[in-house]
Amino acid sequence: MEETQLNMFNGESENDYEMQASTESFRKRARSYSRWSPVDEGVTLAWNNLTIYAKTKRHGKTYHKRIINEMSGAVKAGSLVALMGASGAGKSTLMSVLGYRHSAKLEVEGDILLNGRKTEDYMKYLSGYMHQEDIFIPYLTVMEHMTIMANLKLDRRLTKDDKNKKIMNILRELGLVKCLHSKIGGTDHNKALSGGEKKRLAFATEILTDPPLLFCDEPTTGLDSYSAQKLVGMMSKMASERTTIVCTIHQPSMDIFSMFTQLILIAEGRTAYIGATSKAIEFFQRLGYICPSTYSPADYFIKILASPPGQEDSSRQTIKRICDQYAVSDYAKEIDVVVQYEFHMGRAVVPRRFELRPNFKEIHWHSKLYWLVYRWTLEVMRNPAIELTRVLQRIGIAILIGLCYFGTNPYTQNGIQSVQGVIFMFVTENTFHPMYSVLSEFPENTPIFIREYKSGLYHPATYYFSRILSLLPGFIIEPVIFSCIAYWLSGLQRTFNAFALTTTVTVLTMNVASACGIMFSNAFDSVPTALAYLVPFDYVLMITSGIFIKLSTLSNVFNYVKYFSWFMYSTESLSIVQWKGIYNITCEGQQQGLPCLQDGIQVLDKYSFSEENLVRDMINMTFLLMIFYILGYLFLCYRTKRK
């Protein structure tokens, strides 16, 4: 009996179900309850007593602002739902919670069920979510973006041709084929796709996987009326094939509004109406709000439910009256039957089978890693000016350093200072520049990462490694170029062995410094905050390098810090390479009374360095590198959880 009631609410009889199931286009079956299989059977979403608070911190105290207040509702399989309300009514917040994509700053009370099962992490595999703001990698073309997304999202058994066909079909339907090879573009000066085209591309990305449930936050904003109508028409077709679609929408035209089968109106965090779109006018009429013939019903509802400045009190009373009347109306009772039915069935029937994505083969993590590295690499290649400037800058500095120390004779007392000076330049130039330049790498990409992670595209570890792998060539090529130039110009030891060791240590130094920058980049939400902590950290490391103070005289507090200082390890190992086996330093020209260092051991001893430490220093630098990368990853995971 309950099942019949449910179908009546859906506007379908059991016969309808049979008829639809028998048609090829109607790919889904009615819910069986003996198995839980939303992909095959469609999605019914129900929520009960849902209250949502936004947590904000002020002066160290946490405040809770209530955005949604004890809402109940349901969306049936195959509905196209318009979620409407005045600006700030809580539409996006409600939708993000229903779609399980909400920020950790929201606190949720109440229950949400998908086909009778509490919504959890599985939502990211079952639902698509088109956000209000589009975020893309601006340097990719439309086709590249779609190809990468297809390779991150679709079944791994699909061939390249299958994926291309699918992409082309979607793009054709959305009228994006003409911009197939256009760059997506980002900021105004780098604009390529129009705002409407970006909206359509965001929609195309979400429907790639044919999700049984789709959330779209203002999908028609920025589209012309024809494109908007086409897009909603496409949604309507998808809904007729039993995809459940929930859209927030502003000012839809009559034609578009009438395509929605269900309407949810919210005001001040409460439900003002849930029911068939066609019956909304009747509901408001009964309350005495008659839509003038010159008004679009959608605009009229929002006008009644808005709270314009200066009229807050009267509007609040109107909204309260409408929401109270709705709560005791037949429309609310009808929805309540569905909600109670879903909750009852969820509790009473434990499905024998749970099929999250039947017959779906997830893409291997290494393939995802490959496609992510490919994406970041394309980003670098499309903007070669930045990389080129960096390399040219390094060449310029290497030549400058080389020329400053050109003709150095290391076998004199003055030569000792010059060699140690060059070593200091090698360490600082391969530390500060790379460490600061990677600071923005992670915060810049956090929004896209959080979004894709919440959509189940990849694990944070895959993202983290892909970023590092794409930066790695630069971390190797740059110090090698620097060393090749500065080493031979500045009169250091003329043996290939010494050069090779110096280059290896330089590469290691740059990698440890970059890893440290990456750790700071992940530890903080913004570059300025990361900088504020990194600068004092630098000073401590630099002081403990051994150049400015004899390490054996370091105070107890800083004596331990030197073990974390790659400055010290790098300076010591580069000094060992230069001074090991040197016995013939002259005292010529040295002022009387000043000490004269006659061999390499004495030089190293002056800085508290030891000939035996070369391997230890390189191993310790490798350890530091790994520790920084691991800490960076842990910070990323921590920050991801808080988003």
Ligand X SMILES: Nc1ncnc2c1ncn2[C@@H]1O[C@H](COP(=O)(O)OP(=O)(O)OP(=O)(O)O)[C@@H](O)[C@H]1O
Residues that bind ligand X (CB under 6 A): 54, 56, 65, 67, 85, 87-93, 103, 105
Name which of 68 and 603 has its Cβ closer to ligand X.
68
Sign of CA dihedral 498, 501, 504, 508: negative
Name which of 184 and 280 has its Cβ closer to ligand X.
280
Name which of 66 and 459 has its Cβ closer to ligand X.
66
Cβ 56 to ligand X, closest distance in Å? 5
Name which of 59 and 366 has its Cβ closer to ligand X.
59
Cβ 332 to ligand X, closest distance in Å? 21
Cβ 313 to ligand X, closest distance in Å? 18
Residues in Cβ contact with 175 at an 8 Å cutoff, skipping those fewer than 6 apart: 200, 227, 230
Assigned token pair, 509: 């130094």
Cβ 281 to ligand X, closest distance in Å? 22
E-assigned strand segments in 167-269? 213-217, 244-248, 262-267
Name which of 67 and 214 has its Cβ closer to ligand X.
67
Cβ 73 to ligand X, closest distance in Å? 15
Name which of 103 and 367 has its Cβ closer to ligand X.
103
The CA distance from 69 to 49, in Å, is: 8
Name which of 302 and 518 has its Cβ closer to ligand X.
302
CB 214 within 8 A of CB 130: yes
Cβ 88 to ligand X, closest distance in Å? 4
Cβ 64 to ligand X, closest distance in Å? 10
Q: For the sheet containing 262-267, what is the strand order?
A: 127-130, 213-217, 244-248, 80-84, 262-267, 270-276
The four Cα atoms 187, 192, 193, 195 give a dihedral, to 10 degrees, of: 30
Burial (CB < 10 A; 0-12, 13-18, 19+), residue 531, is middle
Cβ 246 to ligand X, closest distance in Å? 13
Burial (CB < 10 A; 0-12, 13-18, 19+), residue 437, is middle
Cβ 183 to ligand X, closest distance in Å? 28
Cβ 119 to ligand X, closest distance in Å? 18
CB 182 within 8 A of CB 208: no
Name which of 105 and 286 has its Cβ closer to ligand X.
105
Cβ 301 to ligand X, closest distance in Å? 14
Residue of 401, 405, 396 lying closest to 426 (CA atoms): 401
The CA distance from 88 to 72, in Å, is: 19
Name which of 86 and 614 has its Cβ closer to ligand X.
86
Cβ 48 to ligand X, closest distance in Å? 20
Name which of 105 and 118 has its Cβ closer to ligand X.
105
Assigned token pair, 192: 């390529």
Residues in Cβ contact with 331 at an 8 Å cutoff, skipping those fewer than 6 apart: 273, 274, 275, 279, 283
The CA distance from 584 to 410, in Å, is: 10
Half-sphere exposure of 136 (CA within 13 A, CB side): 33
- Determine the angle formed by the axes of helices 195-207 and 225-240, rounding to 10 degrees: 10
The CA distance from 334 to 431, in Å, is: 67
Buried b (16+ CB within 10 A) or exposed e, 454-482: bbbbbebebbbbbbbebbeebbeebbeeb
Name which of 446 and 503 has its Cβ closer to ligand X.
446
Name which of 65 and 494 has its Cβ closer to ligand X.
65
Name which of 87 and 187 has its Cβ closer to ligand X.
87
Cβ 319 to ligand X, closest distance in Å? 14
Cβ 285 to ligand X, closest distance in Å? 25
If DSSP codes are grouped into helix, strand and coil, which group holds residue 387?
A: helix
Buried b (16+ CB within 10 A) or exposed e, 505-515: bbbbbbbbbbb
Quickly list H helices, 130-224.
142-153, 160-173, 195-207
Name which of 322 and 512 has its Cβ closer to ligand X.
322
CB 94 within 8 A of CB 266: yes
Cβ 96 to ligand X, closest distance in Å? 8
Burial (CB < 10 A; 0-12, 13-18, 19+), residue 499, is middle
Neighbours of 330 (CB within 10 A): 10
Name which of 52 and 171 has its Cβ closer to ligand X.
52
Residue 116 falls in which region: left (phi positive, over 0), alpha (psi -120 to 50) or beta: left
Sign of CA dihedral 270, 274, 278, 284: negative
